[in-house]
Amino acid sequence: MTGRSLPPFEVFLEANRAVVYRYLVAAVGSVDADDVFQETFLAALRAYPRCTEPDRLDRWVLRIASRKAIDHHRGAARRPVPVAAPPDLTAADADPAGDGLGPAARAVRDLPSRQRDAVAYRHILGLSVAETASLMGTTEEAVRANAYQGIRKLKERATWTND
Amino acid sequence: MDERLSISAVDADRRSRAAAERFRSAASESGLVDVAVGTLDSPVGELFVAVTPRGLASIAFEGVDRDALLTRFTRELSPRVVAAARATDDVRRELDEYFRGARRRFDLTLDRRLMSRFMLDVLGATSRISFGRLATYGEIAGTIGRPRAARAVGAALGANPIPIVIPCHRVVGANGKLTGYGGGLPRKEFLLQLEGSLL
């Protein structure tokens, strides 16, 4: 434990709810962000008294959110998916959650988890390479590479949908 | 990339506010909340209450620094402090009944961890003053076997973490004067009028 002590959980929740939500919309999509948000903060509440990073709680909770997003994707892979979409849903398909986010935003959540987090932390939350590396427990070089590969895939995906 | 990759900060704030509200109820039901805080309206102003699994730990009048209180709960009770309104329902109901004149004693269980040893004695004696009755600081000091400690009794009552429910408003000066109250004298006067102890 560092010199600083933990703030009341309520204060921590208010300080970090928006950034976690924004990360989750990118990582799991607008529709499921809410559920994964609940799981993230319940896990945080469970672990809170044992948290050893009282002065980097934003990082701490984003790491939990990242793990919950991975769990969510694993679960989704096991869940049955409808075989064919009804033919008249093209408009809804372009923006199924009605949140103004297009195909590239939705492609973020389909990236491999390291690329997804690198893109989300760097390009959505605006964290520095150093902050992202510390958050992901990796090197700055690896962050740059993951973010680069992720963004390249998103661009391919965007071009491909626009054709 | 000109396409937005996530929702705007403004939307994230709005939507996370609703999600956080949902989280607070879920957390309360999960049994993971060690200190549930909430507010309730009363004729003596908005009350800020804290409830733990052991019982009611704190009632604070309007004007008390709530951030400082939350920090105190974190330090002395647990950092798992959440604004979970439903956990404070029993307190809300009993206080409503009291202020309506439909309740003369409280059945709430209390969490006394915010009290010092001396305060436990003083407030224990104070809890036995029934509705409509008064006692003096000197009488309380005598009851706890510290007859010369009337002043210290006054200080302990002033720091009562659970006013109204532990009726420190029923303790008055030797001449029957309302000498002081943690929540301010007008509130003491109001409570004693409600109980018919003051005309």
Give contacts of B71 with chain A, Cβ < 8 Å: 7-8
SS3 A81: coil
pLDDT for res A154: 87
Per-residue pLDDT, averaged over B137-165, amounts to 94
Per-residue pLDDT, averaged over B61-71, amounts to 94
Among A85-99, B18-32, B43-57, B76-90, the range scoring the smallest mean pLDDT is A85-99
Return residues 54-113 of A near B (CB < 8 Å).
99-105, 108
Residue of B nearest to A16 (CA): B16
pLDDT for res B52: 96
Percent of chain B with pLDDT over 70: 98
pLDDT for res A98: 61
CA distance B101 to chain A (A): 34
Name the band, by pLDDT with cuts 50, 70 and 90, for residue A81.
low
Which residues lie closer than 8 Å to B145 by C-beta, 6 or more apart? Answer: none
CA distance B30 to chain A (A): 8
Contact A30 B7 (CB under 8 A): yes
Residue of B nearest to A40 (CA): B23
pLDDT for res B17: 97
Between B5 and A1, residue with greater pLDDT: B5
Query: A134-163, pLDDT tens digit by residue?
Result: 999 999 999 999 999 999 998 887 766 554
Name the band, by pLDDT with cuts 50, 70 and 90, for residue A94.
low
Q: What is the pTM of this model?
A: 0.87
CA distance B182 to chain A (A): 25
ipTM value for the complex: 0.90
**Cα separation values, A41 from A4, A36, B20, B52, Å:** 21, 9, 9, 20
pLDDT for res A91: 46
Show the 3-state SS of chain B: CCCCCCCCHHHHHHHHHHHHHHHHHHHHHHCCCCEEEEEECCCCCCEEEEEECCEEEEEECCCCCHHHHHHHHHHHCCCCEECCHHHHHHHHHHHHHHHHCCCCCCCCCECCCCCCHHHHHHHHHHHCCCCCCCEEHHHHHHHCCCCCCHHHHHHHHHCCCCCCCCCHHHEECCCCCCCCCCCCHHHHHHHHHHCCCCC
